[in-house]
Amino acid sequence: MTEQTLFTYPEGWNELLAALDFLPEEQRNGFLQGLLQTLLF
């Protein structure tokens, strides 16, 4: 049995967005996209 991870879409993506409660809701998607762009480096 594989472990449950967050890297599913849109379920895991939305789960992480919901957890970013230190940000206003309308900023969370852009924040997460910016993180992914940074993690490319």
Minimum distance of another protein from residue 29's CB (angstroms): 9
Please report, as ranges, the residues that interact with another protein according to CB under 8 A.
3-9, 12-13, 15-16, 19-20, 22, 31-41
- Cβ partners under 8 Å of residue 40, min gap 6: none
In the block, residue with structure tokens 């940000």: 23
**Residue number, 24 or 36, with CB nearest to another protein:** 36
**Residue 22 CB neighbours (<10 A):** 7
Taking a C-beta distance cutoff of 8 angstroms, is the pair 31, 23 a contact?
Answer: yes
Minimum distance of another protein from residue 36's CB (angstroms): 5
Minimum distance of another protein from residue 14's CB (angstroms): 11
